[in-house]
């Protein structure tokens, strides 16, 4: 039976959080198309990891512990995943929109001469034709597009992070584990990882934060961001900014949320002095709740937010912050 | 040292177009152009032009050639990289290239690069702001069978090699590869320079080389799409914003916090 193959990424010898999301998406497709789910586990693979992958929805696990797969260099992963594809001829290959997955999936698709869809929020399989239709935001989230693959398999799909809820872990699930010998030559790996540099940022990373407090041009300058920082800290969250703020040099570009910045999906996204231009919303529209403080009631942000205050942030924010502090400490 | 660089650049709808003016023709499945708002060179592509110019300056010589594919170029827009200081420009303009998908774009750009000559480096923006695919550069590196480095925020050219700092959520990774190589860049690589008056004057004297698919020996078949666009629509925002209003702004702030607690958001 043909399979839907996912690339389950490994981070610090554990499954990356996206692995469970990919398995859930693959399970959905497999059920619609009457197929099975397979997972490629590439890196330093223990038996426990393989079993966890099955418990999260895989029917088959193909693992390789080739030393060149130990670091997340795309070249080695493309070479290994290609060999798995040649062995099992999957109907589709799913990778996550992570630094590794968003490169490995598309590169392998081009190497195999088939289509690839990036940043998919949803997918659907049609049993009669065997074709998959994906939905993805385009034009910075201004529009949604549905794409259907033309005939060739595998159909490559890069899934947006957090677009799918993981399945409940079920340790009674049965599955097959195959440890494969996948040769990788020097010619396969032309890019060498020299060094991984962690930059000590104060507090939590933007992409990981469950609460983000983001400021825009309406703040008038860099100084008010210390107040945003104060609020963010109460939630153990992070500070973000609009493009205008970063272009003006108030904050570094690494703070930028939006089309040309970072894509975030926190539980709570609080905007202060942000108008909500589509290119900004492209980076935060999948937040669970958006809250807006802005003096312009006509601003687009109020079309996207679930709660808002129309008013002067200089007066709104201090009392909001003080009340949040009271609530969180009580 | 002399270095020859190709920069792929795309003409896109201005992403600053207000969403109220954004419209989709669901019949033709295309985004309707907005009257009075000219297209722009894609933001990340301008970052790539900037990076190329800096590398050429540091090397002390070479060429920066900008390359693009489309069916309707606005010359004043597309010539901006020339005004910034690029040496030449190749435009593949063909009515068959109006709705190229990513695979078709890869095939055309790859052919054009092969035809135009030797290169040390191909620089691309990491993503275009219209279809947000972010994989055309990856496809070009595969088609040309050269090393691929992505999301660069810094590029150092060495002796027949390149070192790149790739942006990551918690810092960056340093990669090294031999030349020729393809690199995608993001906004962290540096603001695109403003064209100087001298640059604009020089650009006005340069004529982009315009090629058609047949000039490249490409058939309609070679740009057959891998994906079919089956639907294009403007999503309906489900958010119904509840505006919290107190006696004054400070009171509204307090009530907002209480509301978020009531809704179990905080």
In a domain, A110, yes or no: yes
Per-residue pLDDT at A260: 75
Cβ–Cβ of B243/A133 closer than 8 Å? Answer: no
What gap in Å lies between CA B48 and CA B44, rounded to an integer?
6
For residues A257 and A263, what is the distance between their CA atoms, to the nearest angstrom? 6
Is the domain spanning B3-223 CATH 3.40.50.620? The answer is yes
Judge if A160 and A55 occupy the same domain. Answer: yes
CA nearest to B191 within chain A: A247
Cβ atoms of A223 and A229 closer than 8 Å: no
Question: Across the interface, which of A152, A259, A315 has its CB nearest the CB of B129?
Answer: A259
Tell which residue, B97, B216, B224, has the closest CA to residue A113. Answer: B224
In a domain, A23, yes or no: yes
Chain A residues within 8 A of B161 when measuring between CB atoms: none
Q: What is the pLDDT of residue A253?
A: 83
A255-274: pLDDT as tens digits? 999 877 888 989 999 999 99
Q: What is the pLDDT of residue A142?
A: 85
Q: What is the ipTM of this complex?
A: 0.92
Q: What pLDDT, on a 0 to 100 scale, did the predictor assign at position B244? A: 95
Q: Kindly state whether residue A194 falls inside one of the protein's structural domains.
A: no
Q: Are residues A174 and A233 in the same domain?
A: no
> In B, which residues are within 8 Å of A321 by CB distance?
253
Residue A116 inside a domain? The answer is yes
* Structural domain total, chain A: 2
Shared domain check, A96 and A9: yes
| Residue entry with tokens 């966890």 | A52
The whole-chain average pLDDT of chain A stands at 94
Q: How far apart are CA A155 and CA A133, in angstroms?
A: 10
- Which residue stretches of chain A have pLDDT < 50? none
CB spacing of B244 vs A198 below 8 angstroms: no
Give residue A308's domain range. 206-329
Residues in chain B within 8 Å Cβ distance of A318: 250, 253
Does residue A192 lie in a domain region? no
Taking the CA of residue B263 and the nearest CA in chain A, the distance in Å comes to 10
Query: Is A203 an 8 Å CB contact of chain B?
Result: no
Tokens of A25: 């998406």
pLDDT of residue A201: 65
Q: Kindly state the tokens that stand for B15.
A: 């992403």
What's the pTM?
0.88
Q: How far apart are CA B149 and CA B183, in angstroms?
A: 5
Cβ neighbors of B92 (< 8 A, separation 6 or more) are B67, B68, B69, B70, B108, B109, B112, B210, B211, B212, B213, B216
Task: Give pLDDT, residue A162.
Answer: 84
Pair A238, A145 in one domain: no
Q: Which residues of B touch A146 (CB under 8 A)?
A: 229-232
From chain A, pick out residues whose CB is under 8 angstroms from the CB of B249. Answer: 309, 311-312, 315-316
* Alpha-carbon gap, residue B77 to B55, rounded angstroms: 23
Task: Please identify, among A179, A198, A229, the residue that sits at the C-terminal boundary of a domain.
Answer: A179
Nearest to B176 among A147, A192, A207 (CB): A192
Instruction: Please name every residue paired with B174 in a beta bridge, in sequence order, or none if there are none.
Output: A195, B165
In a domain, residue A232? The reply is yes
Q: Are both A67 and A12 inside the same structural domain? A: yes
In chain A, residues 36-75 whose CB comes closer than 8 Å to chain B: 73-75
Residue A161 covered by a domain: yes
Q: Which of residues 243-272 of A touch B (CB under 8 A)?
A: 247, 253-254, 256, 259-262, 267-268
Strand partners, A158: A95
Residues of A in contact with B142 (CB under 8 A): 107, 110-111
Residue with tokens 């990513």: B102
pLDDT in tens, A218-227: 999 999 999 9
Q: Output the pLDDT for position A123.
A: 97
pLDDT tens per residue across all 266 residues of chain B: 899 999 999 999 998 887 778 899 988 899 998 889 999 999 999 999 999 999 999 999 999 999 999 999 999 999 999 999 999 999 999 999 988 999 999 999 999 999 987 999 999 999 998 999 999 999 999 999 999 999 999 999 999 999 999 998 788 999 999 999 999 999 889 889 999 999 999 999 999 999 999 999 999 999 999 999 999 998 876 668 999 999 999 999 999 999 999 999 99
For residues A170 and A268, membership in a common domain is answered with no
Same domain, A136 and A14: yes
Q: Are B89 and B209 in contact (CB under 8 A)?
A: yes
Residue B116 has a pLDDT of 85
DSSP conformation letters of A193-229: EEEEEE---SSS-GGG-SEEEEE-GGG-SSTTHHHHH
What's the per-residue H, E or C state across chain B? Answer: CCEEEEEECCEECCCCCCHHHCEEECCCCEEECCCCCCCEECHHHHHHHHHHHHHHHHHCCEEEEEEEEECCCCHHHHCHHHHHCCCEEEEEECHHHCCCCHHHHHHHHHHHHHHHCCCCEEEEECCCCCCCCCCHHHHHHHHHCCCEEEEEEEEEECCCEEEEEEEECCEEEEEEEECCEEEEECHHHCCCCCCCHHHHHHHHCCCCEEECCHHHCCCCHHHCCCEEEEEEECCCCCCCCEECCCCCHHHHHHHHHHHHHHCCCC
At CA B117, angle to CA B116 and CA B123, rounded to 5?
Answer: 85
Please state the domain extents for chain B.
3-223, 236-266
* Whole-number pLDDT of residue B239: 67
Listed by number, the residues of chain A in 83-102 with a beta carbon closer than 8 Å to a beta carbon of chain B are: 99, 102
Q: Quote the CA–CA distance of B138 and A307 in Å, as a whole number.
A: 41
**Residue B131: per-residue pLDDT:** 92
Does some domain include residue A72? yes
- Residue A63 sits in the same domain as residue A150: yes
- Domain containing residue A210: CATH number: 3.40.50.1220
**A138 touching B (Cβ < 8 Å):** yes
**Contacts of residue A304 in chain B, CB cutoff 8 Å?**
237, 239, 241
């Amino acid at each position: 039976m043909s399979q839907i193959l996912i690339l389950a990424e490994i981070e610090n010898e554990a499954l990356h959080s996206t692995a469970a999301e990919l398995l859930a998406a693959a399970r959905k497709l497999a059920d619609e198309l009457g197929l099975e789910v397979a997972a490629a586990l590439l890196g330093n693979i223990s038996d426990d990891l393989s079993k966890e992958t099955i418990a999260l929805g895989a029917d088959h696990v193909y693992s390789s512990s080739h030393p060149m797969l130990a670091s997340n260099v795309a070249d080695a992963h493309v070479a290994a995943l290609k060999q798995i594809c040649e062995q099992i001829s999957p109907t589709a290959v799913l990778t996550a929109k992570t630094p590794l997955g968003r490169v490995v999936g598309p590169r392998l698709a081009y190497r195999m001469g088939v289509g690839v869809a990036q940043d998919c929020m949803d997918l659907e399989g049609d049993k009669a034709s065997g074709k998959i239709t994906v939905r993805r935001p385009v034009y910075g989230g201004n529009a949604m597009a549905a794409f259907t693959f033309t005939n060739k398999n595998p159909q490559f799909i890069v899934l947006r992070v957090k677009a799918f809820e993981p399945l409940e872990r079920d340790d009674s699930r049965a599955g097959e584990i195959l440890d494969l010998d996948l040769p990788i030559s020097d010619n396969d790996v032309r890019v060498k990882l020299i060094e991984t540099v962690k930059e000590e940022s104060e507090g939590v990373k933007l992409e990981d934060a469950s609460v983000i407090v983001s400021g825009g041009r309406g703040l008038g300058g860099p100084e008010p961001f210390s107040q945003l920082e104060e609020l963010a800290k109460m939630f153990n969250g992070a500070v973000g900014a609009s493009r205008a703020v970063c272009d003006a040099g108030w904050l570094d570009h690494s703070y930028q949320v939006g089309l040309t910045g970072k894509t975030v999906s926190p539980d709570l996204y609080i905007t202060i002095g942000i108008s909500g231009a589509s290119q900004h919303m492209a980076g935060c529209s999948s937040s669970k709740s958006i809250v807006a403080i802005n003096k312009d009631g006509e601003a687009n942000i109020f079309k996207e937010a679930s709660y808002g205050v129309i008013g002067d942030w200089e007066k709104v924010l201090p009392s909001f912050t003080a009340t949040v502090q009271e609530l969180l400490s009580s | 040292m002399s270095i020859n660089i190709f920069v792929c650049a795309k003409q896109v709808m201005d992403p600053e177009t207000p969403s109220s003016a954004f419209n989709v023709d669901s019949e033709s499945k295309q985004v309707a152009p907005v009257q009075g708002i000219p297209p722009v060179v894609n933001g990340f592509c301008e970052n790539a032009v900037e990076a190329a110019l800096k590398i050429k300056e540091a090397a002390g010589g070479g060429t920066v050639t900008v390359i693009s594919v489309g069916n309707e170029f606005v010359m004043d827009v597309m010539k901006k990289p020339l005004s910034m200081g690029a040496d030449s420009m190749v435009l593949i303009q063909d009515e068959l290239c109006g709705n190229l998908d990513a695979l078709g774009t890869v095939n055309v750009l790859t052919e054009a690069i092969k035809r135009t000559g030797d290169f040390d480096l191909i620089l691309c923006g990491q993503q275009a702001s219209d279809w947000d695919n972010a994989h055309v550069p990856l496809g070009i590196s595969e088609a040309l069978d050269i090393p691929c480095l992505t999301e660069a925020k810094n590029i150092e050219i060495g002796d027949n090699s390149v070192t790149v700092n790739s942006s990551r959520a918690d810092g960056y990774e340093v990669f090294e590869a031999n030349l020729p190589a393809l690199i995608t860049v993001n906004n962290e690589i540096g603001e695109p320079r403003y064209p100087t008056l001298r640059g604009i004057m020089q650009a006005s004297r340069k004529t982009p080389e315009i090629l058609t698919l047949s000039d490249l020996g490409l058939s309609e078949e070679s740009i057959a799409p891998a994906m079919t666009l089956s639907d294009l629509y403007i999503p309906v925002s489900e958010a119904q914003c509840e505006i919290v209003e107190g006696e004054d702004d400070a009171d509204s702030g307090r009530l907002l916090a209480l509301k978020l607690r009531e809704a179990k958001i905080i």
